[in-house]
A = this chain, B = another copy of it.
Amino acid sequence: MKNITIQEIEDMDRFKKTNFINSLSGFKSVTLIGTISEKGIPNLAIFSNIVHIGADPVYIGFINRPKEAALDTITNIESTGIFTMNHIKKEFVDRAHQTSAKYPNDQSEFEKVGLTPAYKKGILAPFVGESNVQYALKLADIIPIKFNGTFLVIGSLLDVFIDPVLMQEDGHLALDQAGSLTSLGIYNYYETNFIAKFPYAKP
């Protein structure tokens, strides 16, 4: 095992350090977040730090970078109170990644990258038509993380749309078979292979 000290990490160039630290924390549940601005312009952005907050009631959260770096999604959520999450499949991962480009906020990433904004009754924010796991969340809280200007954005679940073949008897979603991807670092994407399932652990 090689020891990489915090000093060696601090001394890495910015790009290498970002890549290293983003990999260190492991595979992420990369997701496209759909929102709409007050002016009605649909926005789509790729996020990788999605967390399960609770199942009863259902809360799901994500980390938003500082507003200087990533303004549109959080601003739209603040003004409309609603957002969607949409899983990414291999077939459109290139377009999903391209949403990370900094387009002016009067342009829609949907149009720029070639993904389809899909609207559903009673939900203001757009879903990604190409995605086979789509869900909508209502803003519950935005918690600022004081150290570095990031935010934990938490939503309560409103509605889910999935390809029915994914749903298993025990509630589990077969995302490996669905081709939902996972990401690592800042630009690497992976498929998954199921290897093991274990029962509820008892001493």
Contacts and interface: CB of A to CB of B under 8 A. Distances in A.
Interface of A: 1-6, 9-10, 12, 14-31, 48-60, 63, 85, 87, 90, 93-94, 97-103, 112, 132-135, 140-141, 143, 145-148, 150, 152, 154, 157-164, 167, 170-173, 175-176, 180-182, 184-203
A161 B2 CA distance: 5
A184 B175 contact: yes
Given A16-B171, A185-B172, A187-B199, A25 B6 contact: no
Copies of this chain, tallied across the complex: 2
A24 B203 contact: no
B159 A154 contact: no
9 contacts: A25-B51, A26-B180, A27-B27, A27-B29, A28-B52, A90-B195, A143-B145, A182-B182, A187-B200
Given A1-B132, A141-B145, A186-B200, 7 more contacts: A2-B162, A20-B172, A27-B27, A51-B63, A97-B201, A172-B188, A192-B193
A18 B163 CA distance: 19
Contacts of A194: 188-190
B24 A160 contact: yes
A188 B200 CA distance: 11
A101 B202 contact: yes
A198 B191 contact: no
Nearest to A161: B1
B59 A147 contact: yes
A85 B24 CA distance: 10
B14 A56 contact: yes
Contacts of A59: 145, 147-148
